[in-house]
Amino acid sequence: MDDLRHDPELLGRLRDDLAGAEYTVAGVEERLGPLAVAALHREEAVPALRATDRSGTDPSGPDPCRTLVRAFVLGRAVARRALDAALPTVGTAGAARLGLAVAAGADPDDEVRAAVDLRPYTASDQGGSVDWWIASDLGELATGRSLRTDHVLGVGGASTTLAQVTVRTPRRRVLDLGTGCGIQALHATRHAEAVVGTDISGRALEFARFNALLAGESHRIGLRLGSMLAPVAGELFDLVVSNPPFVITPRSPGVPAYEYRDGGRAGDAIVEELVTGVGAVLAPGGVAQLLGNWEVRRGEDWHERVGEWLDRSGLDGWVVQREWQDPAQYAETWIRDGGTTPERDRAAWEHQYAAWLDDFESRDVEGVGFGIVTLRRPVTGAPTLRRLEELTGTVHQPLGATIATSLAAHDWLEARDDAALGAERLTVAGDVTEERYLTPGASDPSVVLLRQGGGFGRAVRAGTALAGFVGACDGSLTVGSLVDALGDVLGVPASDVAADVLPSVRGLVEDGLLLVV
Ligand SMILES: C[S@@+](CC[C@H](N)C(=O)[O-])C[C@H]1O[C@@H](n2cnc3c(N)ncnc32)[C@H](O)[C@@H]1O
């Protein structure tokens, strides 16, 4: 990409052309088929190349959607006449003017090549579904070359993870720190009055502005150049989202530092800085959600280090560790991500691998965690939420609403001591089932699990009293009456039942397995 042109009129026409070509996620999936789509997710282009090869030879003329996939996703040359047909009002000339494509000449048979990746994106949220197009730098699959260090990333797995865990309640001001191509900022326009996107990369901001204009949302996104919180110092936001450059990278010669993933700090300092510092820009009640990696040092549990960050943040904090990798697995993941593989360049691979292991050894790192961090500035008073948990199983995205409900349930519980909780009525959420495990021949289960079908897909082990309590939660009796009745049935004082089950009941309410009537 030399220069993207931010011409609102031309971009408005481009939007119409792209929609007319059925260049949507559904349209592309229909043309490519599941096999080619899945292969593309693995960065394998051959099936998609075969599926789009018909673009120029079809007797009915080139299929516009296939032409666009071939040019803007696969990075292959297409005939000028094919791109003119795919973008009937913008044409190849307009695409070139916007900085999207470069034409070899003006003849209809001349080749045109994409200068950027431009692909459809779809999402649904509380307001319905949206179709956008996201421009970013062409990836390795299209160029066949390693990425440049100022590469601007398109929408990746981490981007969608963050978008899906984001709490999407109506907000006045939202900050997207490290906006990149602007995808989180675009999502925020759906539930915020004003959005600020920041980035250390001027190129990223060019793409973000282009994408905001193409989506027709530029009037609600302000973009600012600068590092971390500097561009918004002294301001307050109701929601901060960040998919920051959290990859831990050795600062050694011969190890490239990619702007999109490497924040330029040693170890996990960038995530620490964000977790401990973001409170400075959070309005009371404001929420910050970010993804991150953290180092697990020898002799420490992962939650000690991250928990200490939470303590320093002065905020409510909830961390879900989703993955853990040992230093070798981590090094392999990120060296490959940068385009170096042992097959392509064994010397570079071994050099980088050793640099990663040296770097981890220098800080006694035994592993690296990856997870989702949710922080919240209490409306008043001191933080009450401090939760660090490991959930590596399948979760049911989008989790944004689950996280919002859980935060609200936490506040509800905080406002009630056990006596007040005793006066409430609860029901079992519709997605909860009970699993009983019996030793063959036994009449009583040795293990009872309460399993959540949605959300985080939690499984909670329940003893006799808790299983009895939950089984009776149909909203007709108060918590206190249920505890009394269980005491009678089990032949123990109600106070013992309360001490046994109420802490777990609180957990089930906070996690949405029990609902307040
Ligand atoms: C992993 S990308 C995330 C892009 C996008 N928000 C998403 O969710 O896909 C991280 C972004 O942070 C930017 N970045 C790197 N260092 C930064 C810093 N010190 N301050 C702000 N942004 C930074 C990079 O340029 C990049 O655009």
Q: Tell me the domain boundaries of the chain.
A: 8-120, 152-397, 416-516
> Using CA atoms, how far apart are residues 511 and 505, in angstroms rounded to an integer?
10
Q: What is the pLDDT of residue 327?
A: 98
| 146 confidence band (pLDDT: 50, 70, 90) | confident
pLDDT higher than 90, residue 105: yes
Residue pLDDT, tens place only, 365-374: 999 999 999 9
Helix (H) or strand (E) holding 376: strand 365-376
CB atoms within 10 A of CB 41: 9
CATH 1.25.40 is held by the domain 416-516: no
Mutate to test the pocket of ligand 1, among 175, 260, 281, 372 (most ligand atoms within 8 A of CB): 260
- Residue ID of nearest Cα to ligand 1 atom 16: 263
Q: Region 82-103: what's the mean pLDDT?
A: 98
Q: What is the pLDDT of residue 92?
A: 98
Q: What is the pLDDT of residue 57?
A: 54
Mutate to test the pocket of ligand 1, among 199, 272, 278 (most ligand atoms within 8 A of CB): 199
- Of 80-89, 300-309, 339-348, 451-460, which range is least confident? 339-348
> Using CA atoms, how far apart are residues 462 and 464, in angstroms rounded to an integer?
7
Q: Region 369-380: what's the mean pLDDT?
A: 97
Residue pLDDT, tens place only, 108-128: 999 999 999 999 999 998 889
Burial of 358 (C-beta count, 10 Å sphere; 0-12/13-18/19+): exposed
Q: Region 216-245: what's the mean pLDDT?
A: 98
- Residue ID of nearest Cα to ligand 1 atom 12: 178
- Residue ID of nearest Cα to ligand 1 atom 27: 180
> What is the CATH topology of the domain spanning 152-397?
Rossmann fold (3.40.50)
Share above pLDDT 90 across residues of the chain, in percent, rounded to a whole number: 93
CA of 366 to the centre of ligand 1 (A): 26
Residue pLDDT, tens place only, 305-336: 999 999 999 999 999 999 999 999 999 999 99
- Residue ID of nearest Cα to ligand 1 atom 24: 260
Q: Region 446-469: what's the mean pLDDT?
A: 96
Q: 481 Cβ partners below 8 Å, 6+ apart?
A: none
Beta-bridge mates of residue 111: 79
Q: What is the pLDDT of residue 61?
A: 72
Ligand 1: nearest atom to the Cα of 156 = 9
Q: Cα dist. 328→107, 225, 353, 414, 432 in Å?
A: 52, 35, 8, 43, 39
| 53 confidence band (pLDDT: 50, 70, 90) | confident
Q: Region 431-437: what's the mean pLDDT?
A: 97
CA of 260 to the centre of ligand 1 (A): 5
Average pLDDT for the chain: 96
Q: What is the pLDDT of residue 2?
A: 65
Ligand 1: nearest atom to the Cα of 176 = 6
CA of 159 to the centre of ligand 1 (A): 11
| 399 confidence band (pLDDT: 50, 70, 90) | very high
Mutate to test the pocket of ligand 1, among 243, 246, 268, 291 (most ligand atoms within 8 A of CB): 243
pLDDT higher than 70, residue 59: no
pLDDT higher than 60, residue 55: no
Residues with CB under 6 A from ligand 1: 153, 155, 159, 162, 177-180, 183-184, 198-201, 204, 227-228, 243-245, 259-261, 263
- Only one residue has tokens 């109701």, namely 238
